[in-house]
Structure 1
Amino acid sequence: MYNTFENDILEIPMNEESLHVSLYSKKYKSDHSKKIFKVVSLFSGCGGLDLGFSGGFNFKNRHFEKNRFNVKFANDIDPAAELVYNANTIFFGDHQLIKDDVKNISNSDIPDFDFLIAGFPCQPFSNAGLRKGINDERGNLFEECENLLKHALTRENPPIGFIFENVKGIMSSKMEDGTSIPDEIVRRTEKLGFKTNYKLLKTCDYGVPSNRQRLIIVGIREDLGYFDYNLLNDVVKLYDLPNEKEKPYELYLGSILCDIPEDAPQKNDYWKYSPGGQYMVDKIAPCLDGKEALIKFKKNVPLQDISNTISKGKSWKSMDPADMSERFLKIWNNPKKYHAPNFYRRFALGEINGTITASAQPENCGITHPFEDRRFTIREIARIQSFPDDFVFPFKTIAHAYKVIGNAVPPVFGWVIAKALSKHIENA
């Protein structure tokens, strides 16, 4: 219905409601070249996207300067996310996350904003979840965003746009009439007068040391035109950020693990495996390159000069079949039938790590250290998600820390989006 991956995006004819919004757009059209944009954040989690939009943080040896976005309001229902978000006031300034069901918050209690950013819950849409899609109560929470936008458009200072983020699985989740959820969001928000398009992006193309795919949906006031996703690549080039295609070295797991400061918070905190999980990890055995290779990464030794096995990861397939359980032996003996999944993935130092899921279970994500028989520490997965080393993750149970990091939008990814959005508005 909507060809949002090309330039020839299908436009919806103007109707009475969108014409009304168009008049608002013309009324408030102004020079945004120096404006600090006010942001409302819903489904904020522990604040990855908020931090990216705000800017003003360090990751590895780079400083990510302040952006022109000021988060004025943040909300999430998860107490584990609230605990983390509100412990990091050094990054989030004078506002705190409000813990409540978004349905309980009146639109009139939410301040004026220029942009709404939201990552409505992933679980109904995730490839690792139940895939109930729109029929899951959490799957239609994007409607809360729609209602807020409708309300905000009636205010004296209507919003300029919104940014929604979600997992790849949302693209194949359907409405009852067969329309995909992203296309339904495009349809509804264009009816409100926004120019809306979306694109599936890989975070390792934008400075993040994780091969994580995310769908980004951007809607902008119609007089500013459709968002140009090519601007993200321009930001990467302008700031010389590492990326998988042209400059991957800083994104390799070895680069991420080699220089974690000794005094970094939660450097040694990790969630122990269950006895069954630990058995699998022990039997898979470490990757071939360990501490000596890690020292070479710290010295920036070229990949080809470290080892010819530096990019050779492992999984359950690396086990001796004699050590496999009946379940895994069944898959081993019939790989075509079961498509030979990479359970218990163990990424090598010369690879970009895969997605860290909220559950942090070794069976469905690469959460195991390359040569130590354990999960990554909290600080290690925070780095894989591009959080600063001084961003802390207090928790009531350690599983909560892994959950909020796995659910988060990588801050560096959010920073690139914010920079590109600023550039788009300047160009428009």
Structure 2
Amino acid sequence: MYKENTDINNFIEEPQISLDFEAKRDVQPIQETYKVVSLFSGCGGLDLGFCGNFVFKERYYNKNKFEIVFSNDIDPAAEYVYNSNYEFFNHKLSCNDIKNIDVNLIPQFDVLLAGFPCQPFSNAGLRKGINDERGSLFEECEKILLHAVQSDHKPKAFIFENVKGIMSSKMADGTSIPDEIVKRTEKLGFKTSYKLLKTSNYGVPSNRHRLIIVGIREDFGYFDYNLLDNIVANYNLPNETSNPYELYLGSAICDIPINAPQSNDYWKYSPGGQYMVDKIGPCIDGKDALEKFKAKTPLSKISPTISKGKSWKSMNPDDMSERFRKIWDNPKKYHAPNFYRRFALGEINGTITASAQPENCGITHPFENRRFTIREIARIQSFPDDFQFPYKSIAHAYKVIGNAVPPVFAWVIAQALTKHLENE
């Protein structure tokens, strides 16, 4: 694996745990499968969930009835990661601009997956929405659906995924983007609906909000989103409501195997970012508390401060730059932003953004003054420990993980979709 030289220091001592990853995988094929075309696939989080057959936090997520027959993304960094994990997909990603792909060359499919670019709609971006050329890329999905509908093999379903911000993005006539997608795809013969979901309710140790748009071929009826909750209950998956312990940051990162790829690699902060993190200081509970999570000690027996996180507001105002001091002095004017969020071991971590900047997301380790390692954010995103993130620039690894759909969340969606299509 080619990667740049990185100064690796100050990382947490790794737990002495090793897993025989291959022994945990089911190699038996499922005979009846749904063919899947995946667009804007990124490093494969959504695809992995639909394939299934992986282990996350010692829990096996069984093989699903979906087979990826075509996947595409324009990002070479995503291609590098996706194709380095061939054993999960049994398929390689094509790196190309979706606009340059001849629809006649896309195989017949039963299900279309697409996480078209979220930056035009994201609160962490410039929010140009439909005015950003990437904001209209859902029309490429529409084009491929139209071509498939007009063939002899009409797809059974599609799943689109995007950020919460897309709900307030408008077309030129004022229609919201999700409502426009509903209108257009229902003309193609799909029953289309959408719902804003939080991944921590579906087995993922991250409070990540995502809009899921599901279109079902009209003879199957509208998708029942209650099926997602049924899957969580049937498999006893951790969730905020009934059993959140496995979702806490301490539980997520306490037992990363020593042989997990990229377990020690982390991206150093800029001098200014490092200054802020140092001045904010670590959360109260540190290494000893992390060991208690490893031992599965009940949260009530760890510490009353285990859920007390930090941010720039924890700094001494005298240590702040002029910019931050202005915000500190007039929080109402600036809507009291919570920059440099540092989640504690007893909290559920927030969204990890593609930029992985400490000012915009909770990317800082709770008691080591550094970014999370690549492996730690992979855990927060629910990737299995044997899923590799090779990189040529370490920023690229953070980007593709931050852009990904959490695989466990995708697995729940895949299970629910199967039940809906098979009328269970």
Which band: TM-score by shorter chain? over 0.9
Q: 2:341 aligns with which of 340, 345, 348?
A: 345
Find the counterpart in structure 2 of residue 204 from structure 1: 200
Q: 1:121 aligns with which of 114, 117, 123?
A: 117
Q: 1:44 aligns with which of 41, 46, 56?
A: 41
Q: What pairs with 1:11-30 in structure 2 (closer than 5 Å)? A: none
Find the counterpart in structure 1 of residue 3 from structure 2: none
Q: Is 2:129 the counterpart of 1:154?
A: no
Q: 1:53 aligns with which of 50, 53, 59?
A: 50
What is the CA–CA distance in structure 2 between the aligned matches of 1:277 and 1:79, rounded to whole Å? 28
TM-fit CA distance, 1:71: 0.6
1:193-252 CA distances to partner (integer Å, 9 max, x unpaired)? 100000000000000000000000000010100000000000000000000111100000
User: Comparing 257-266 with 268-277, which one deviates more in the overlay?
Assistant: 257-266
Q: 2:213 aligns with which of 214, 217, 235?
A: 217
What is the CA–CA distance in structure 1 between the aligned matches of 2:271 and 2:313, rounded to whole Å? 19
Find the counterpart in structure 2 of residue 4 from structure 1: none
Find the counterpart in structure 1 of residue 398 from structure 2: 402
Find the counterpart in structure 2 of residue 320 from structure 1: 316
Find the counterpart in structure 1 of residue 359 from structure 2: 363
Identity %: 77
Q: Is 2:61 the counterpart of 1:64?
A: yes
Q: Is 2:356 the counterpart of 1:378?
A: no
Q: What pairs with 1:272-351 in structure 2 (closer than 5 Å)? A: 272-351=268-347
Q: What pairs with 1:235-254 in structure 2 (closer than 5 Å)? A: 235-254=231-250
AA aligned opposite 2:100: N
TM-fit CA distance, 1:157: 1.4
Find the counterpart in structure 2 of residue 89 from structure 1: 86
Q: 1:194 aligns with which of 183, 190, 194?
A: 190
TM-fit CA distance, 1:135: 1.2
SS at the partner of 1:383? Answer: helix
What is the CA–CA distance in structure 1 between the aligned matches of 2:313 and 2:279, rounded to whole Å? 10
TM-fit CA distance, 1:73: 0.4
Segments of 5+ residues of structure 1 without an aligned counterpart are 1-32
What is the CA–CA distance in structure 2 between the aligned matches of 1:48 and 1:196, rounded to whole Å? 23
Q: Is 2:212 the counterpart of 1:229?
A: no
TM-score, length-scaled by structure 2: 0.92
What is the CA–CA distance in structure 2 between the aligned matches of 1:79 and 1:425, rounded to whole Å? 34
> Which consecutive aligned stretches of 4+ in structure 1 deviate over 6 angstroms post-superposition?
none
TM-fit CA distance, 1:35: 3.8
1:19-65 CA distances to partner (integer Å, 9 max, x unpaired)? xxxxxxxxxxxxxx984100000000000000000000000110000
What is the CA–CA distance in structure 2 between the aligned matches of 1:161 and 1:101, rounded to whole Å? 23
1:151-205 CA distances to partner (integer Å, 9 max, x unpaired)? 0012121111100000000000000010000000000000111000000000000
SS at the partner of 1:353? Answer: coil
What is the CA–CA distance in structure 2 between the aligned matches of 1:425 and 1:154, rounded to whole Å? 21
SS at the partner of 2:283? Answer: coil
TM-fit CA distance, 1:335: 1.1
Find the counterpart in structure 1 of residue 388 from structure 2: 392
Q: What pairs with 1:128-147 in structure 2 (closer than 5 Å)? A: 128-147=124-143
Find the counterpart in structure 2 of residue 177 from structure 1: 173
SS at the partner of 1:279? Answer: helix
AA aligned opposite 1:288: I
Find the counterpart in structure 1 of residue 9 from structure 2: none
AA aligned opposite 2:364: T
What is the CA–CA distance in structure 2 between the aligned matches of 1:107 and 1:308, rounded to whole Å? 58
Segments of 5+ residues of structure 2 without an aligned counterpart are 1-29
| Number of residue pairs aligned between Structure 1 and Structure 2 | 395
SS at the partner of 1:63? Answer: strand
SS at the partner of 2:63? Answer: coil
SS at the partner of 2:120? Answer: coil
Q: 1:263 aligns with which of 259, 262, 278?
A: 259
What is the CA–CA distance in structure 1 between the aligned matches of 2:258 and 2:141, rounded to whole Å? 42
What is the CA–CA distance in structure 2 between the aligned matches of 1:214 and 1:346, rounded to whole Å? 22
AA aligned opposite 2:51: S
What is the CA–CA distance in structure 2 between the aligned matches of 1:338 and 1:164, rounded to whole Å? 34
SS at the partner of 2:343? Answer: coil
TM-score, length-scaled by structure 1: 0.91
TM-fit CA distance, 1:337: 1.2
AA aligned opposite 1:411: P
What is the CA–CA distance in structure 1 between the aligned matches of 2:348 and 2:234, rounded to whole Å? 23
